[in-house]
Structure formats: C-alpha cells, structure tokens
Amino acid sequence: MEEIIKCVAYSDFPTTWRSILPDVVNKLKNSDKFTDIYGSLLVLKNLVLNFKTAEGLEREPLELIVSNTFPLLEVYAKNLLSNNSQQSAAAMHVILKTFFAANYVNK
C-alpha cells in the first residue's frame, strides 16, 4: 500500500491531489489510533522522498510539507521518547527518515 501511495503522490501531489497534506495533518492532530498515525507518517515520508532530489523551484512543495507537518512531528517525536515500545520505535524510525530526506542536499 505504501508503494502505491508513493507512486500516486509522486504524479499527483501537489497539482491534482491537493487534499493529501491536509488529510495527513488532520490524522496526525486528531487520531489516537496508532494505525492511523503510523499510516500518516508513512504517507508523509513518501511525500518528502518524492522531493528529496528536487532543486530550486521544484522544492517548493517540500517547503509546504515541512512548514505544515514538522512542528507536529517534533512534538510527536518528543512524546515517543518516553514510550518504550516497538510501535514507538517504528514511528520514530519513520519520523527520523522523514527529517533526513527533507534535509538531503543533492551535490
């Protein structure tokens, strides 16, 4: 499922599938279910990965993603640190991969 969303988001975000980012933010803010949050984190990671090697104006959607989601991810990551479980570790792994991909600079 993750690969399907990655491919569709690659071709449709931000032009056609505009609602994906607000949907992800909504799930991250309002859901208490781990499956919803983890799924949203995976979608977000793949959105960021789609712009990992973009340069110049092509990175504008990445700026939108970062400004709308990274403050939420920071709070969520801090909360995960106090929870010693496999689910927390998996979620933290996805968050860190997302941060890394967003900061990637193609040289």
Note the pTM of the prediction, 2 decimals. 0.89
Count of structural domains within the chain: 1
Residue 107 lies in a domain: no
Q: Is residue 21 part of a domain?
A: yes
Question: Is 97 domain-assigned?
Answer: yes
Query: Could you tell me if 55 and 12 are in contact, meaning their C-beta atoms sit under 8 angstroms apart?
Result: no
Domain that holds residue 35: 2-102
Q: Can you give the pLDDT of all 107 residues of the chain as single tens digits? A: 777 877 887 888 888 888 999 999 999 999 999 999 999 999 999 999 988 888 888 889 999 999 999 999 999 999 999 988 999 999 999 999 999 999 886 65
